[in-house]
Each structure stands twice: as structure tokens, then as C-alpha cells.
Amino acid sequence: MNALIAPSMLSADFCHLADDIEMVNRSQADWFHLDIMDGMFVPNISYGLPVVKAIRGLAEKPLDVHLMINDPGRYVSEFKQAGADILTVHYEAVTHLHRVVWQIKNEDMLAGVALNPHTPVALLDDIIQDLDLVLIMSVNPGFGGQKFIKNALKKVSELRDIIEKRNLNTLIEVDGGVDGNTAVDLVEAGADVLVSGNYIFKATNPEKTIECLKHIGKED
């Protein structure tokens, strides 16, 4: 199976956002990846609900919303209303994770949990059966264009083993420093979804770059 490709709109041209949304619509990408940052959980501030809503108006593919905010349970309904299809919260930002995961699922969205580079996958042992997706961060969240942290490959393999052993359908998504090289290793390690920002949007031909990422590894 080919990986799903989720271009991160953080690297898009915000002055011509509609053009970049149309490019993703035309391309072989599967999801739009939207990074929400609060300047507290991560040192950066990105964009919020009105921008998600505007993207929803033009996007013809699911919105994969990655919340890098403290206490994200406060905003689950708001992101549903803005058009999120998949909502991912950080393990490190939530006290009552089980409650928040079910808040997301009860709003008819897919629920994801993201792990920072220092957070071991073993900590998901008692929640993974409820998750639609686990997002392995391969950079410290907060900025696009950072260098891939190789330990993420080990985490993807470990998670793949857990998912197989327990016979689950949980998707493994990886985010940060994904390019043509790291993508090959990630697909090999068992990743299902590749998020990519700078590598796609700074390319001379972003649409072609998406197509190349899509065809890494085994064909369908």
C-alpha cells in the first residue's frame, strides 16, 4: 500500500493560499495537514479557526488538524465546526487523554494522539485501542523546515509491531523533516501517512513532488 500524503499548509504561501489549496486539490495528496500552534505548548503561533474554516471552503480532501496547544479538549467542538475531519492532540498537552479522545470521536472526527520526540510509544499502551491515528513527531514541534530526528524510525517500527500484535487498524503518521530520502525509510519502517511541508512547498514542482512521495515503497 502506498502511504497517504498530507502536505503541511504551514509551508504554503499565505499571500496566495487559494493557489496552494488548488494545487493540493489537483495533486495526488490525500489530506490537508493543518498545524495549530498557541505560543505556549510550542514556541510559535501559527493560525487559528478562521483560517481552518477558509481552507475548508476550498479544500476537496479531508482536513487533518494537528493541535499543538495546551489543554486541547477546550476546542474540540470549535475545530469540528471549522471543518476538521481528523483531530490530533499531543499526549504531553492533555491530562485526561481518554476523555479528550472520546470527545473527538463523539464529534464524528477521527482521533489522533501525537508524541513528541522524547515520548515513548509504550505510554500509549492503555489508549491505543481507542485511537484512529498516532502521530510520531520526527522534529520538536513548532516550526517547519527542521532536520529529521532519526530515532523516529525506531518508534515507527515499535508502533507497527504493537499495532500488528494487537490486530488494530490505527494509522501511523509521521511529521517533521520528511523528504524523498527520509520518506523511503519511514515507509519501510511501517508509516501509513507522511506529512511534509518545506520539501513539498519549496520544490520547483510541488505537484510532482507529492506524486513522487506517493509512489515510494510498494505499489498498491
In the complex, which residues of this chain contact ligand DX5 (CB under 6 A)? 8, 10-11, 33, 35, 66, 139, 141-146, 175-178, 195-199
Binds 46, which of ligand DX5, Zn ion, none (CB < 5 to 8 A, cut-off by type)?
none
Closest by alpha carbon to 5, among 197, 202, 203? 197
> Which listed residue (20, 30, 35, 85) is catalytic?
35
Measured in degrees and rounded to the nearest 5, phi and psi for residue 67 equal -85, 110
The residue type of 82 is: A
Binds 142, which of Zn ion, ligand DX5, none (CB < 5 to 8 A, cut-off by type)?
ligand DX5
Please give the Cα distance from 19 to 206 (Å, whole number).
Answer: 12
If the CB atoms of residues 72 and 141 are measured against ligand DX5, the closer one turns out to be 141
Q: Quick count: other Cβ atoms within 10 Å of Cβ 180?
A: 13
Q: Where are the beta strands (DSSP E) in 153-205?
A: 171-175, 193-196
Taking a C-beta distance cutoff of 8 angstroms, is the pair 31, 57 a contact? no
Min dist. Cβ of residue 194 to ligand DX5 (A): 9
Min dist. Cβ of residue 195 to ligand DX5 (A): 5
Beta bridge partners of 67: 36, 89
If the CB atoms of residues 120 and 180 are measured against ligand DX5, the closer one turns out to be 180
Clarify whether 192 is annotated catalytic: no
Clarify whether 175 is annotated catalytic: yes
If the CB atoms of residues 40 and 129 are measured against ligand DX5, the closer one turns out to be 40
Min dist. Cβ of residue 81 to ligand DX5 (A): 22
If the CB atoms of residues 121 and 135 are measured against Zn ion, the closer one turns out to be 135
Min dist. Cβ of residue 164 to Zn ion (A): 25
Residue 6 exposed, middle or buried by CB count within 10 Å (0-12, 13-18, 19+): buried
- Catalytic sites, residue numbers: 35, 175
